[in-house]
Amino acid sequence: MKVIAPGKLVLTGAYAVLEGAPAIVAAVDRYAVADAQSPGKIDVRALQDDAGQKLGLGSSAASMVASFGARALARGDDPRHAAVRSEIFRSARDAHQRQQGGGSGVDVAASVHGGVLRYTVLREPSRGSQSGASSSQGPSRARRLETSIHAVEMPAGLVLTAFWSGTSARTSELLARVDALRARGGAGAVFTALRGVAEEAADAIGEAGRFVQRAAGFGRALAALGDAADAPIVPPAFAELSALAEREGAAFFPSGAGGGDVAVWLGVQPPSPAFTSRATALGLSPLTLAIDHGGVRPESPS
């Protein structure tokens, strides 16, 4: 028997989630697959392009979740059961933090629970932490976080389209630059603005128009963070497309930590042919994705 775990798109709240703000994350129908007989062997081809590059859909988190889900199934536990999922989340999040040197666990939550989630880091119990933010010191970045996870509904009329840039981003390098900015101090206004728009976006999730508007503001705050940290969180091609999207009343910005790979269009209408044509000219292509509502689970026989 095999177990599958979905990938994710972080819609709003990247970086800000490590500052205590809520993130909105959606599980998507691309899966990591693990066999209950060999939980350590993971198939992530659905989370990669034809050349084997990661698409930026959370393949490492999905792999962890699929592996722990397969172990649960092997010992007779159903990974769809709430108590089992809670244990899978804790185990996969801790393992993923150790592997990545930190992180909020938002991508792990999406892989475990599926659907669309409002995810918040409530606090970090260990002393010496900085609002749950990652730091360059490995042990402090891997402390256990207390979190709040709530399922939310995607608002009626919201159009979500993902675009793949053809290039994988190195999240660790971006995080290191943001960590360095935080350590230097003097950028408090940037982080305050990022937290503020992340909170506004999460609170607006019930209404498509308001959510799109707030998401566009979050995209601008991400770009400001990248400028302050001298980090290419929003690459030039994404910045150009963001401006085009706003002219169409939509938002366009990187999913998650940014730096390339995958971006999201959020609007009340699909991207125009002019937008899609320009995206193609800049090397981006649409990804065929849908929301996964099942989370980690045994794979259904085909």
For residue 18, pLDDT over 70 is answered with yes
pLDDT tens profile 213-227 = 999 999 999 999 999
Q: Within 13 Å of residue 62, how many CA atoms lie on the same side as its CB? A: 32
* Residue 143: predicted pLDDT: 52
Domain boundary among 153, 175, 208: 153
Domain boundary among 134, 153, 172: 153
Q: In CATH, what number is assigned to the domain containing residue 272?
A: 3.30.70.890
Asked, for residue 217, whether it belongs to a domain, the answer is yes
Q: In CATH, what number is assigned to the domain containing residue 8?
A: 3.30.230.10
Dihedral angle of Cα 277, 280, 281, 282, to the nearest 10 degrees: 130
What average pLDDT is seen over the chain? 89
Domain hosting residue 183, numbered range:
159-287
| Residue 262, SS3 per DSSP | strand
pLDDT tens profile 73-99 = 999 999 999 999 999 999 999 998 888
* Residue 237: predicted pLDDT: 95
Q: Which of 30, 79, 1, 3 is nearest to 255 (CA)?
A: 30
Asked, for residue 301, whether it belongs to a domain, the answer is no
Asked, for residue 302, whether it belongs to a domain, the answer is no
**Are 209 and 259 within one domain?**
yes
- Cβ(153)–Cβ(139) below 8 Å: no
> How many helices and strands in the chain, by DSSP H and E?
9, 10
For residue 136, pLDDT over 80 is answered with no
**Are 10 and 59 within one domain?**
yes
**Are 142 and 234 within one domain?**
no
- The reported pTM is 0.90
* Residue 172: predicted pLDDT: 78
- Per the structure, how many domains does the chain have? 2
